Amino acid sequence: MSMAAEPNELRDDVLNGLQLSTQLERVWRTPSGLFGALMSVDHKVVGRRYIVTAFAFLLLGGVLAILMRVQLAGPEKTFLSADKYNQIFTMHGSTMMFLFAVPVMEAFAVYLVPLMVGTRNIAFPRLNAFSYWMFLFGGCFLWISFLFNVGPDVGWFAYVPLSNLQFTPTKRADVWAQMITFTEVAALAVSVEIVVTVFKLRAPGMTLDRIPLFVWAMLVTSFLVMFAMPSIMVASTSLILDRLVNTRFYDPSSGGHPLLWQHLFWFFGHPEVYIIFIPGTGMVSAILATFARRPVIGYPVIILSLIATGFLSFGLWVHHMFVTGLPQLGAGLFTASSMLIAVPSGLQIFCWLATLWDGRPVYRTPLLFVIGFIVIFVLGGLSGVMVASVPIDTQVHDTYFVVAHFHYVLIGGAVFPLLGAVYYWLPKITGRMLSERLGRWNFWLAFVGFNIAFFPMHILGLIGMPRRVYTYTAEMDWAHLNLLSSGGALLFALSFALLLVNVIYSLRKGELAGDNPWSASTLEWATTSPPPPQGFDRIPVVKHRDPLWADGESLPVVAGLSVERREVLLTSLAEAEPQIREASPEPSIWPLLTAVATTVFFIGSIFTPWAVLWGTPPMAVTLIGWFWPTGSKEDEE
């Protein structure tokens, strides 16, 4: 609108110092009390909750992993029944993929991206709150079902016909499929927020070639989510329809086909791996620059690699289906396309090696995890090249070789960078440092434990052990390597216990971090630790790719945003020129209520199709409440 602002509205150019901070904090803070907490739309509050919840699910998934390793430590153990084991491995995979790996990366992005691009809140903050609640409710729904013995037992990719009504007459497969719907909604919401935040909320002067690499990585990831998730949404919804109202999407006797499921699932499932891995690479780039004490070499190469990885990741899903009887030439082409993704991944590795080569590395815990990442991930990538070969895959597909491979790429490629990220960014989030000594122990236990746990699985697969078997006979000669692997798994688990101890210790007695404990270069280190509700008192102006290294103490800022209401600055897409002042939503209880209504609808609809009828009006009501016009001032030039 062309109307001028009310003349008496207070802007941040008339206040200074403490006065400004206090005023902004009053406007941006989350209301106090339990009710206030439930209303929060602050990306830092929601991000923190997201991170803690995702790590809670990591803990649960890890406990399941240990249970499996106990069962497999020796031949013909009866620690777990077949039924329990099948539920547990399904729950482990589903929890780790859908409730930990994807959400935890989004969680870090929700917390960090707005700070790294220098704005006050994420785009669509209420959607952000809604996303968190959906994630939380979906995760609880899955785990409560599991505790009531209705946990899914059809594997994390739930192949039909096994997951059809005929072969899984209980609600177990529905629980799995609907949990997917919850996490999809949550993930899609965050992706939209990240894309808009990166495109429209960057600090003035942060041109496309000044965006931090972690933010670039999250931007590419968000696009991957938006293109990949609809595929699994179609797949899981069709599965629920097949089970609930007898549609025949996957029934060969009525013209459906079981392979349709596999195509839809893996068209999502392969990009999914990169949805987890690409944020990891972003964390690596961020940590490496700080601790090698120089900018990462090959900034444009890394960005182009990320984008290339994103595109290529949609062209290789068929390598999960090499033994389903596809035409040979077609399968061979997917071998080549699968292996080609090694090129952008390789380029990134080369850039990081060059950075480390030329830098003056400071070997603190975050950097140790990055080095561990390179060692482990490269091995996992190379075993990935092996499984991409059709003839090799016919032997190793669905064996422990593949189990080893994907734990090398996912734990090596995502969890190690993530642990580095925890050591790196937790001081920003809590204001306190983690113990370096415990950190070193944590790293070495994780590194050694991980390799002892997972390396032997390569060999187990080659000597014939299929995955997802709840037991094996003594004559198979798999006992020793399995025992070794179980021992390694315990060590690996111990490293996480150490992390927990370190975090608790740090929260109570950790050294104060200060604004920029690592002398890092990106904007999140320009504000206090933990950051105030408004993020920054004044929006910084970016003149360099590494603003804190280039401008040091005197970071330039812009002024002119309101201090009486929540306002953010929109900038242009490419050049990040200031365009408009935009109102940012106030705290609201409606996202939570909408999430509750949606949850009731989703859970109800796996029991009766009528839930679609009685489940939608409450959602409509809550959405009307959410979007009810509040008569706030319109945005202005």
Partner 1 sequence: MGSHAKVMSVWVRTALVLSATWLLAGCSGRQSALDPQGLQSEQIRQTLFVFLVVATIIWIAVVFVLSMGMLRRKREAAQPLGLHEEFEERSGRVILMLGLATTVVVLGLSVVSYAGQRTVFAKSENALTLKIIGHQWWWEVHYEGDSPDKTFATANEIRIPTGQPVKVELESADVIHSFWVPSLTGKMDLITGQKNELQFTAKKAGVYRGQCAEFCGLQHAHMAFAVIALPPDEFGRWRDHENQSASSPPDQLGRQGEALFRARGCALCHNISGTPAGGQMGPDLTHIGSRTTIAAGTLPNTPATLGAWIADPQHIKPGNLMPQMPLQSGELIAILHYLEQLK
Which of the residues 340 through 399 are near partner 1 (CB under 8 A)?
340, 342-343, 346-347, 349-351, 353-354, 356-361, 371, 374-375, 378-379, 382-383, 385-386, 388-399
- For residue 124, give the nearest of 110, 138, 137 by alpha carbon: 110
289 and 366 Cβ atoms separated by less than 8 Å: no
339 and 385 Cβ atoms separated by less than 8 Å: yes
Give min distance, CB of 382 to partner 1, in A.
4
144-183 binders of partner 1 (CB under 8 A): 153-155, 159, 161-162, 167
Task: Please give the Cα distance from 288 to 282 (Å, whole number).
Answer: 10
Per the structure block, which two tokens stand in for 49? 């909750």
Nearer to partner 1, 301 or 596 (CB): 301
46-85 binders of partner 1 (CB under 8 A): 81-83
Nearer to partner 1, 556 or 625 (CB): 556
According to the binding rule CB under 8 A, does residue 464 interact with partner 1? Answer: yes
Nearer to partner 1, 193 or 251 (CB): 251
Report which residue type is found at 340. L
274-293 binders of partner 1 (CB under 8 A): 289, 293
Nearer to partner 1, 275 or 548 (CB): 548
**Mapped to the 3 state alphabet, what secondary structure does 493-561 carry?**
HHHHHHHHHHHHHHHHHCCECCCCCCCCCCHHHHCCCCCCCCCCCCEECCCCCCHHHHHCCCCCEECCC
189 and 128 Cβ atoms separated by less than 8 Å: yes
Candidates 54-62, 272-280, 320-328, 579-587 — which segment interacts with partner 1 by CB under 8 A? 320-328
Cβ count within 10 A of residue 475: 8
Candidates 177-185, 203-211, 216-224, 475-483 — which segment interacts with partner 1 by CB under 8 A? 475-483
SS3 301: helix
According to the binding rule CB under 8 A, does residue 468 interact with partner 1? Answer: yes
Binding map of partner 1 across residues 549-568, x = CB under 8 A, - = no contact: xx------------------
495 and 524 Cβ atoms separated by less than 8 Å: no
Nearer to partner 1, 46 or 368 (CB): 368
According to the binding rule CB under 8 A, does residue 193 interact with partner 1? Answer: no
Cβ count within 10 A of residue 147: 8
Cβ count within 10 A of residue 2: 5
Q: How many residues bind partner 1 (CB under 8 A)?
A: 88
Give min distance, CB of 315 to partner 1, in A.
14
Nearer to partner 1, 141 or 373 (CB): 373
Cβ within 8 Å of residue 18, ≥6 positions away = none
According to the binding rule CB under 8 A, does residue 335 interact with partner 1? Answer: yes
Q: Which residue has the tokens 């547990």?
A: 88
CA 81 distance to own-chain centroid: 32
Give min distance, CB of 576 to partner 1, in A.
21
Give min distance, CB of 453 to partner 1, in A.
16
According to the binding rule CB under 8 A, does residue 537 interact with partner 1? Answer: no
- For residue 582, give the nearest of 193, 215, 198, 123 by alpha carbon: 123
Give min distance, CB of 89 to partner 1, in A.
9
Cis preceding linkage at 7, omega within 30: no
398-417 binders of partner 1 (CB under 8 A): 398-399
Binding map of partner 1 across residues 507-526, x = CB under 8 A, - = no contact: ------------x-x-----
Give min distance, CB of 15 to partner 1, in A.
33
Give min distance, CB of 340 to partner 1, in A.
6
